[in-house]
A and B are shown apart, each in its own frame.
Chain A
Amino acid sequence: MESVLKISNLNLFYNNVQALYNIDMDIKMNHVTAFIGPSGCGKSTLLRCLNRMNDLIENCRIEGSIQLDGAEIYDKNQDVVSLRTRVGMVFQKPNPFPKTIYENVAYGLRCQGINDKKILDEVVEKSLRKAALWEEVKDRLGQNALRLSGGQQQRLCIARAIAMEPEVILMDEPTSALDPIATAKIEELIQDLKAEYTIVIVTHSMQQAARISDETAFFLMGELIEMNTTKKLFQLPNDKRTEDYITGRFG
């Protein structure tokens, strides 16, 4: 199985406090990979490394290597903007811009200087369809995105990421602010999206990781304890600490 992202010997420090230790990990193409572990174990930190969102954080130092399709993303010549189009991100709290639904999805393309209405119309529709939102909003594309429900806003953010035609979509607890029905919709959507994209998702819900991911990585205090197929990890984990965590006996 081909891996899209290859993380090797990654160490990360915030102000000289180490937050990630010697992470080695392959993320497989067209798979859903879930990151689980207790609060503060470094899931979001690692996720942010994958599209260099940590560059925005002062005093964050990274050692080691992350390759996207074989090319080092921390290379000096790597264009961070183009990296972030290839590796998109969806956050915990839906964060649409205070613009119309249409403009939210078209935003990335406009930033790239694409303003041709025909192209934009096409991409907006296609992205909203892929994000399973089109039927709900097609008659009100000009409406302010902030008037959508939380679940709809999150799908809009996914559509916004998809519009850039990324290879990888990173999601940091994308459903933690949503009700069970909106959550189910996003989970279903993630299943559909993996045919075309590689998805990495941080989640605090073990059931969610079990339901939607193919591979699961369990972290503890900045270390990758175990990465395995989700089936294996939730049935017969290799490490006692993984078992303690997934069975709720942690700490």
Chain B
Amino acid sequence: MVKIDTELTLFQDAILQMSDKVRRMYIMALEVLESGNKERALAIIQLDEFVNNDEEEINDRGLEVLSLLAPVASDLRVIVAGIKIASDLERIGDYAKNIARYVIKNERLEPELMRHARSIGDQFVLLYDKAIECYRTKDAKTAIEVPQLDDEIDAAFTLLIRFIEERMEAGENIPHLVATVGMLRNIERAGDHTKNVCEHLIYQVRGQHYDFG
């Protein structure tokens, strides 16, 4: 195998490992929303440190390949797309961290709100897993379809908003509900960044720019 192949494989493996950690952050975030376990929430925040560090390492590795091996064409796009994907993953990790912070400051979610959180969260994990699978298998064709799953997150979020509005009209504690919506909006944003991952992967494989909004 040519040296650049080895380097590109290591580079892509590093991104996949980073994506695993980010995924774990969401699984844990949904858990702690339900349990209110502040120690577990703290563990998410610590995991984010590792994710941030991963991004830096991926950048360094990418720059090293650029400067030492001067990749062109598809090789070059693997590096450029990878650096961007790592940056989106880092943001996605930040959103999970925000949820952990919320849990540290507040109590666990009451069951009805939790049901909504679960529904939004599950949709997100579905989208996320598909996007990462596309990256792992370099499947640009599927990556064009996957972002549509984000509509499901939006739909679940709309249901949440409607539910909250009803509760507010019934005269419930408004600041608390607003904070909950704000917290769950992190998942929706994470969905948007996951769509970016698909865009970058398509660019990597085909050299074409897509914009899924």
| Chain A residues close to B by CB (< 8 Å) | 206-207, 210, 234-237, 243, 246-249
Q: How far is the CB of B205 from chain A (nearest CB, A)?
A: 11
Q: Establish whether residues A243 and B4, one from each chain, have CB atoms under 8 Å apart when the complex forms.
A: no
Q: How far is the CA of A206 from the CA of B69 in the complex (A)?
A: 12
Q: Establish whether residues B72 and A247, one from each chain, have CB atoms under 8 Å apart when the complex forms.
A: yes
Given known A-B contacts A247-B4, A248-B2, A234 and B73 have beta carbons under 8 A apart: yes
Given known A-B contacts A235-B207, A236-B207, A206 and B2 have beta carbons under 8 A apart: no
Chain B 1-27 near chain A by CB (<8 Å), digits 1 or 0: 010110000000000000000000000
Chain B 63-106 near chain A by CB (<8 Å), digits 1 or 0: 00000001111111000000000000000000000000000000
Q: Establish whether residues B70 and A207, one from each chain, have CB atoms under 8 Å apart when the complex forms.
A: yes
- Rank and list the top 9 A-B pairs by shortest CB-CB distance, nearest first: A236-B207, A234-B72, A247-B75, A246-B72, A243-B73, A248-B2, A247-B73, A249-B2, A246-B73
Q: How far is the CA of A210 from the CA of B74 in the complex (A)?
A: 15
Residues of B within 8 A of A235 (CB): 72-73, 76, 207
Q: Establish whether residues A237 and B70, one from each chain, have CB atoms under 8 Å apart when the complex forms.
A: no
Q: How far is the CA of A243 from the CA of B72 in the complex (A)?
A: 9
Interface of A: prevailing SS: helix
Given known A-B contacts A235-B207, A236-B207, A243 and B74 have beta carbons under 8 A apart: yes
Instruction: Look across to chain A and name the residue whose beta carbon is closest to the beta carbon of B70.
Output: A207
Q: Establish whether residues B4 and A248, one from each chain, have CB atoms under 8 Å apart when the complex forms.
A: yes
| Total interface residues in chain B, CB < 8 Å | 11
Q: How far is the CB of A216 from chain B (nearest CB, A)?
A: 11
Q: How far is the CA of A50 from the CA of B70 in the complex (A)?
A: 32
Q: Establish whether residues B71 and A247, one from each chain, have CB atoms under 8 Å apart when the complex forms.
A: yes
Offer 20 A-B interface pairs, CB within 8 angstroms, sorted by A: A206-B72, A207-B70, A210-B72, A234-B73, A235-B72, A235-B73, A235-B76, A235-B207, A236-B73, A243-B74, A247-B4, A247-B71, A247-B72, A247-B73, A247-B74, A247-B75, A248-B2, A248-B4, A249-B2, A249-B5
Residues of B within 8 A of A206 (CB): 72
Q: How far is the CA of A234 from the CA of B207 in the complex (A)?
A: 12
Q: How far is the CB of B44 from chain A (nearest CB, A)?
A: 40
Q: How far is the CA of A247 from the CA of B79 in the complex (A)?
A: 13
Residues of B within 8 A of A246 (CB): 72-73
Q: Establish whether residues A237 and B73, one from each chain, have CB atoms under 8 Å apart when the complex forms.
A: yes
Q: How far is the CA of A243 from the CA of B76 in the complex (A)?
A: 12
